[in-house]
Structure 1
Amino acid sequence: MSELQPPPTRKIGKADVARAEILSAAAGLMRRVGYAEMSLRDLAAEVNMKAGSLYYHFQSKDDLVTEVMRIGVEVVEAAVREALARHPDLPPTDRIMIAVRVHLDTMLKKSDFVSSHIRCYPFVPTPIRNRLREVRRSYDRIWIDLLGEYLGPDAAYDDVRYLRHLLIGALNGALEWFNPNRDSAMAFAGHIEALLRNAR
């Protein structure tokens, strides 16, 4: 699957289509096998290319991985921002739950880009992490703002930061245990909501 939409102001060429196909296949492969085990040879086989042809689009494996992971953050951030923009006046807990449900839905059902980022980030080299710092901070700021509103104006910044780590860690951890034949993402979200409401 691919969330990539080429810019509408220029003609879409074969290179754009091939690049999008490579990124989509790489996201799926990274989700399944991780960063270290993803080989460019296996990726090339998935998109019916020679391994060397991938270098026409990306200078290295790490350049490709960085782009996949950057898209992953941007996809979930855009989905959460769009959902929140439709409900600007709801109470803080309700807005948090909108973000929780969109994050879960995007990660578990809609985007290999998002799930591959979450699964691979702990294992990628430091230079890749450094290149992803700003895009990750942009998404983090959504949660910092939401949780700051939830805890109130007198909350210490560390309280907000630790709550963000706790909540996002729980959401992302669902990648390891969630089974669609057994579990419900919305039921999981409901338990989170109950905890947030009972804590007030």
Structure 2
Amino acid sequence: MSRSEAATGSVRQRAKAEAARAAILAAAASMMRRVGYAEMSLRDLAAEVNMKAGSLYYHFASKDELATEVMRIGVEAIEAAVREGLAGKADRSPAERLSVAVRIHLETLLEKSDFVSSHIRCYPFVPEAVREQLRDVRRSYDQLWVDLVRDFLGPNATSENVRYLRFALVGALNGSVEWFNPNRDSVSDYARIIERLLTAQPITAR
């Protein structure tokens, strides 16, 4: 085999491995969203991606490592979506920017990403070692909401009030993953209600 043939074969092998890894991650995100972390079976996951169970360990050393990667992707995806939505909107009012973040967070969580939904659903139930691995990436997204809420409350806001409102707001958004039904509920309607609560506007029918 020539050197160029060997190099081509190596590239193809890497591409195949990367495609298999991506398929495993997508299937794991979907399964974690549906059944949770504890109930996710690696045997079932392997069957879903047409692999033998042992083949998963070529890509991930453990279930915890796989879950960590799925959840890391979720946090990074939702932070990137919100930051992209806010880009170029520095001239908008703090209330408008907060409303943009609320809508994008809900859309990404409920309609666009199993990775995000699986993170929200599974984080309280994964081992402490997994949560530790996710601490920095979660802190980055938390800080984005701290800044948005602080700007919204104004210069006289106390750190305590910022913390309380951030927990109440993000908790309400994330809690929707447990009850939201796309056949019954509307992301835009829920975001509208949150926006009106934040700005003390009356809640009326559309």
Q: Under TM normalisation by the shorter chain, which class is it?
A: over 0.9
2:60 is aligned to 58
Q: 1:156 Cα shift?
A: 1.0
* RMSD, aligned α-carbons: 1.3
- Counterparts of 1:9-158 in structure 2, within 5 Å, are 13-158=15-160
CA distance in 1 between partners of 2:86 and 2:104 (Å): 10
2: CA distance, partners of 1:182 / 1:39: 30
Q: Secondary structure at the match of 2:56?
A: helix
Structure 1 counterpart of 2:188, which letter?
M
Give TM-score scaled by structure 2 length: 0.90
Runs of 4+, deviation exceeding 4 Å: none
Deviations 1:13-69 (A, max 9, x none): 111111001000000000000000001101000000000000000000000000000
Q: Secondary structure at the match of 2:37?
A: coil
1:178 and 2:180 aligned: yes
Secondary structure at 1:14's aligned position in 2? helix
- Tell me the amino acid that sits aligned with residue 66 of structure 2: L
Cα offset for 1:86? 3.0
Q: Distance in 1 between matches of 2:183 and 2:31?
A: 22
What 5-or-longer segments of structure 1 have no aligned partner?
1-9
For 1:179 and 1:38, the matched residues in 2 are separated by: 22
Structure 1 position 90, deviation (Å): 0.4
Q: Share of identical aligned residues, percent?
A: 67
Question: Number of aligned pairs?
Answer: 190
Distance 2:96 2:177 in 1: 24
Displacement after TM superposition at 1:196 (Å):
1.0
Q: Which amino acid aligns with 1:121?
A: Y
Long gaps (5+) in structure 2: 1-10, 202-206
